[in-house]
Amino acid sequence: MKKLRKAVFPVGGLGTRFLPATKAMPKEMLTVVDRPLIQYAVDEAREAEIEQMIFVTGRGKSAIEDHFDISYELETTMSERGKDLDAIQGTRFRPGEVIYVRQQEPIGLGHAIWCARHIIGDEPFAIFLPDELMVGTPGCMKQMVEAYEQTGGNIVCGYEVPDSETHKYGVITPGEQHGALVEVKALVEKPAPGTAPSNLMIPGRYILQPEVMRVLEGQARGAGNEIQLTDAMAQMIGTQPFHAWRFDGRRFDCGDKAGFITANIALALDREDIAPAVRSWMRDTLG
């Protein structure tokens, strides 16, 4: 079993649900409190000891590259004024830690992942969807890596949602369960209300074997006329070990406006420096 060293961040999407904010700014650069969403995802990957980040970008995404670059003017000015540089320096990538790949047209998550095939090679890899903010101790991917080191194969994150919401997501058909580890028998994309095989949805964290790239190579377009990663994963079930790791932390769908606002409030309340002011405002507003 090969060590997990690489992660793919598909960041080439248009972010149309947040227009006009995302007309000139990538949705991955939207901030929750004082960090952009992409920074939360990268920090989660680093905690899981992932060595190489592969960003699949598109047009208009240069702000992401700038965020992880050195800012000489800003750092020099802050240093001269005696200000703390830790928050800025923590955004830098080390030499060789990041590779940028261009997705020339946004035709689905599966296609974005396939664009990184030559860099992945014959190694297992993780996938992070940055607009899914996962908060836990330890982080979601670190928990998944620890499970992967025991089972090998493919692992997706599983997150429990109310039965009334299962029709919004890709849902797992569960098999045997050992604690938080759940065997995946099948994947159902957005089942009709009342027909879901479980309430475990997949919230945007994956560890997959490189064979998925060969499946994606010949993958026909599916829902939304896009190349769907879920369709490719479904073909691998039964040919390789496939499990879900039941994550019991917090999940915020920051691709949704209400979820994004909720994430800002929730994480602000976790911060000692601003929580009192936010809590006071909430008391005054909500009564």
* pLDDT reported for residue 220: 59
Taking residues 184-194, what's their average pLDDT?
A: 87
Name which residue leads in pLDDT, 218 or 278: 278
pLDDT in tens, 211-229: 999 988 876 565 555 778 8
Domains along the chain?
Answer: 6-255 (3.90.550.10)
Q: Is the pLDDT reported for residue 90 higher than 80?
A: no
**Mean residue pLDDT across the chain:** 90
Q: What is the pLDDT of residues 129-170, one digit of tens each?
A: 999 999 999 999 999 999 999 999 999 999 999 988 898 888
Confidence (pLDDT) at 222: 58
Specify the pLDDT at position 88: 77
Instruction: Average the pLDDT over 73-87 and give the result.
Output: 81
Higher confidence at residue 244 or residue 89?
Answer: 244
Q: What does the pLDDT read at residue 154?
A: 95
Give the mean model confidence (pLDDT) for residues 229-244: 90
**What would the 3-class secondary structure string for the chain be?**
CCCCCEEEEECCCCCHHHCCCCCCCCHHHCEECCEEHHHHHHHHHHHCCCCEEEEEECCCCHHHHHHCCCCHHHHHHHHHCCCCCHHHHCCCCCCCCEEEEECCCCCCHHHHHHCCHHHHCCCCEEEECCCEEEECCCCHHHHHHHHHHHHCCEEEEEEECCHHHHHHCEEEEEEEEECCEEEEEEEEECCCCCCCCCCEECCCEEEECCHHHHHHHCCCCCHHHCCCHHHHHHHHECCECEEEEECCCEEEECCCHHHHHHHHHHHHHCCCCCHHHHHHHHHHHHC
In the chain, pLDDT over 90 holds for what percent of residues? 61
**Model confidence over 14-36: pLDDT tens digits?**
888 999 999 889 999 999 999 99
Between 223 and 102, whose confidence is greater? 102
pLDDT at 79: 82
- Mean pLDDT of the 114-127 span: 94
